């Protein structure tokens, strides 16, 4: 390893440590030394950790988070597994729509999905107005119903993980079983399911981790149903009077502990079993037409309407109503909610400031997307083409923020960047938009690295070695060799970071600067004020703007690539 590689590797390691690992470390330190980051030294040992079993709110938050995550992970993995096998084996119209619907649910913020379900299933919601089904309200607003809603919104994580494993199969195993008289379901249960178990475990873990750290669902439910979870209780501890950093630190510790245990279980389960069954006789799965195509289309179309149509369709419908509980009648239809967005609000709620919040959120997301792409490019290069000795540390840092929820990362940033001694050197970033940009970068880096690592894997290192022999430095090799070959992955990384960074409610709630409006908070607060028409109009409008921007950026990026190719 030469000195140039050491400098680049050390630089990105330090950057990832400061952006990602240091905030998490601060949260864990605060459990043992509460107040350390605010000038008071007090050693509590691990006594505060045991307090969670003596305080009803803490205990209930822990119980709710674990129950919701276990239920949603199990049901979501079952749904994802069934759909993945259907998609892999059968070819019909509704199945081809499944991938698009899954990606929409994966990208859509959970608080927006949850708001749609609240407006649909509440006592004065659309289901009661249209159909009079009061049982829907009693079913949704209780733990089992919340598990159901969360599973319908999180199943894409399991679906995509399992579907990737069904692309190839070794059919001689199934054929041998059929020769012995096994029926198709028996073949799937005894051969295909055990062989694809790693993908099921990965899918279950992803759904579990995403659910246990979810902030959007309890935030949306807080107006109609009290269901405290660890992320929401952490947020409440920071924004109550007096501020309870000790409480937030303990709850964050348990949240990290649960996530770590989930990842450890997955690693142990995979390492103790052998699933390397793909060999030279593996073939792509051949899709067939179902016997009753109309029934398959109807069933899967109904499912897509349930998990996607209800939350998004309800929000779209309510956005055109004067009163959410007034029913869909000619007298109750209006475009006033959309007009109010661009008029800046009215009366007591003028401070909602949708246009200002949208401008701020778009700016922060754009800056974070470009910077995270650049950092991800350098990290992917160091991991793929250098002999840097601390590659494992870089891998760890780049993965940590995938598992750490936004509320935990947010409280860690408060501990680190809200220090008086940082003021003289101009680094007191708490309460400034700069910290929001750093937090958005930290959240986007894992995706930027993974997306670019896939493209880097297709490159031959011989080109870079030849350039190095000719005297080209690392920066020249990045710019003249690697960059032109992986530019498409750079564009995808920018689009992914931009699309997901705009709607991050958790970090916006934790790190919002004073008098600085952000679009997710505009929607959440309008919903909290029961201004459902304004909130849903903002949701529909924001989603439309982001989709148009993503398509436009993709189009302009391809045109730019073609222009340079012609030159």
pLDDT for residue 196 = 65
Token pair for 510 = 């934790």
Tell me how far apart the alpha carbons of residues 71 and 76 are, in angstroms, rounded to a whole number: 8
Do 14 and 128 fall into the same domain? no
**pLDDT tens figures, 300-309:** 888 888 888 8
**In terms of domains, do 306 and 365 share one?**
no
Please check the confidence at residue 74 and state whether its pLDDT lies above 80.
Answer: yes
24-38: pLDDT as tens digits: 888 888 777 776 776
Co-location of 455 and 404 in the same domain:
yes
454 falls within a domain: yes
**Residues 223 and 366 reside in one and the same domain:** no
Residues 168 and 295 in one domain: yes
Residue 174 has pLDDT above 60, yes or no: no
CA angle 235, 376, 108 (to 5 degrees): 45
Helix-, strand-, coil-residue percentages of the chain, each rounded to 5: 75, 0, 25
CB 168 within 8 A of CB 276: no
Nearest CA among 341, 332, 259, 405 for reference residue 537: 341
527-557 residue pLDDT tens:
888 888 888 888 888 888 888 888 888 788 7
Predicted pLDDT at 71 = 93
Query: Exposed/middle/buried for 237, CB within 10 Å: 0-12, 13-18, 19+?
Result: buried
541 within a domain of the structure (yes/no): no
Would you say residue 37 lies in a domain? Answer: no
* pLDDT over threshold 70, residue 282: no
Out of 149-163, 269-283, 315-329, 346-360, the most confident range is 149-163
pLDDT tens, position by position, 33-64: 776 776 666 666 666 677 777 788 888 888 98
Write down which residue in 253, 288, 312 finishes a domain: 312
pLDDT tens per residue, range 223-246: 777 888 888 888 887 776 666 677
Provide mean pLDDT across the span 289-293.
75
> pLDDT by residue (tens digit) across 75-124?
999 998 888 878 877 777 777 788 778 878 877 888 888 888 888 888 77
289 located within any domain:
yes
Tell me, yes or no, whether 303 and 369 share the same domain: no
Residue 492 included in any domain: yes
Domain count across the chain: 2
Are 490 and 365 found together in one domain?
yes
Do 147 and 17 have their domain in common?
no
Q: CA 362 to CA 375: how far, in whole Å?
A: 20
The Cα–Cα gap between 560 and 567 comes to 11
Question: In the structure encoding, which two tokens stand for residue 322, read together?
Answer: 């004067």
CB 83 within 8 A of CB 98: yes
Residues 493, 304: Cα–Cα separation, whole Å: 27
Q: Print the domain residue range for 214.
A: 65-233+274-312
Residue 330 has pLDDT above 70, yes or no: yes
Q: State pTM to two decimals.
A: 0.79
Confidence of residue 277 (pLDDT cuts 50, 70, 90): very low
From 284, 312, 340, give the residue that closes a domain.
312
Question: Same domain for 18 and 118?
Answer: no
Residues 403 and 484 in one domain: yes
Residue 510 sits in a domain whose CATH number is: 1.10.3720.10
In a domain, 525, yes or no: yes
Reply yes or no on whether the pLDDT at 283 is more than 70.
no
Higher pLDDT: 326 or 213? It is 213
Q: What is the pLDDT of residue 86?
A: 81
Helix 245-271 and helix 391-403, axial crossing angle in degrees, nearest 10: 120
Q: Are residues 287 and 400 in the same domain?
A: no
130 in a domain, yes or no?
Answer: yes
Same domain, 108 and 213: yes
The verdict on residue 36 lying in a domain is no
């Amino acid at each position: 390893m030469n000195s140039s590689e050491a400098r680049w590797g050390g630089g990105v390691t330090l950057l990832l440590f400061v952006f990602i690992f240091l905030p998490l470390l601060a949260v864990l330190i605060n459990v043992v030394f509460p107040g350390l980051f605010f000038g008071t030294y007090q050693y509590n040992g691990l006594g505060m950790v045991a307090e969670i079993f003596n305080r009803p709110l803490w205990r209930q938050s822990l119980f709710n988070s674990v129950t919701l995550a276990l239920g949603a992970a199990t049901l979501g993995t079952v749904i994802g597994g069934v759909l993945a096998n259907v998609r892999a084996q059968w070819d019909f119209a509704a199945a081809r729509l499944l991938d698009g619907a899954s990606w929409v649910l994966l990208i859509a913020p959970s608080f927006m999905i949850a708001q749609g379900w609240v407006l649909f299933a509440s006592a004065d919601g659309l289901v009661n107005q249209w159909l009079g089904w009061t049982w829907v309200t009693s079913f949704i607003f209780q733990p089992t119903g919340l598990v159901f809603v969360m599973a319908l919104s999180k199943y894409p994580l399991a679906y995509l993980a399992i579907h990737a494993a069904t692309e190839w199969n070794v059919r001689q195993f199934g054929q041998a079983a059929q020769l012995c008289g096994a029926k198709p379901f028996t073949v799937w249960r005894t051969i295909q399911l055990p062989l694809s178990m790693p993908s099921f475990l990965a899918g279950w873990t992803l759904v579990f981790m995403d659910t246990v750290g979810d902030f959007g669902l309890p935030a949306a439910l807080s107006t109609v149903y009290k269901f405290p979870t660890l992320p929401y209780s952490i947020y409440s501890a920071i924004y109550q009077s007096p501020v309870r950093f000790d409480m937030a630190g303990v709850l964050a510790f348990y949240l990290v502990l649960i996530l770590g245990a989930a990842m450890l279980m997955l690693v142990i389960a995979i390492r103790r079993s052998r699933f390397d069954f793909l060999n030279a006789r593996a073939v792509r799965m051949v899709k067939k037409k179902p016997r009753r195509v109309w029934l398959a289309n109807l069933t899967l179309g109904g499912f897509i309407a349930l998990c996607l149509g209800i939350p998004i369709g309800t929000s779209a419908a309510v956005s055109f109503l004067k009163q959410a509980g007034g029913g869909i009648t000619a007298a109750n239809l209006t475009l006033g909610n959309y007009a109010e967005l661009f008029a800046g609000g009215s009366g007591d709620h003028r401070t909602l400031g949708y246009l200002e919040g949208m401008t701020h959120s778009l700016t922060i997301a754009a800056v974070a997307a470009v910077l995270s792409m650049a950092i991800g490019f350098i990290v992917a290069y160091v991991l793929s083409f250098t002999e840097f000795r601390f590659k494992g540390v870089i891998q760890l840092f780049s993965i940590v923020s995938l598992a750490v929820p936004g509320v935990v990362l947010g409280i860690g940033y408060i501990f680190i960047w809200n220090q008086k001694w940082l003021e003289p050197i101009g680094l007191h970033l708490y309460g400034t938009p700069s910290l929001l940009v750093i937090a958005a970068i930290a959240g986007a880096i894992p995706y930027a690295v993974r997306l670019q690592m896939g493209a880097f894997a297709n490159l031959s290192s011989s080109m870079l070695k030849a350039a190095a022999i000719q005297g080209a430095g690392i920066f020249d090799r990045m710019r003249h060799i690697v960059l032109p070959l992986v530019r498409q992955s750079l564009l995808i990384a920018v689009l992914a970071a931009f699309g997901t960074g705009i709607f991050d409610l958790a970090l916006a709630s934790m790190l919002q600067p004073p008098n600085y409006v952000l679009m997710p908070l505009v929607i959440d607060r309008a919903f909290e004020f029961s201004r459902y028409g304004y909130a849903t109009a903002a949701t529909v409008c924001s989603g439309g703007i982001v989709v148009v921007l993503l398509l436009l950026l993709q189009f302009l990026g391809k045109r730019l690539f073609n222009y340079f190719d012609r030159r």
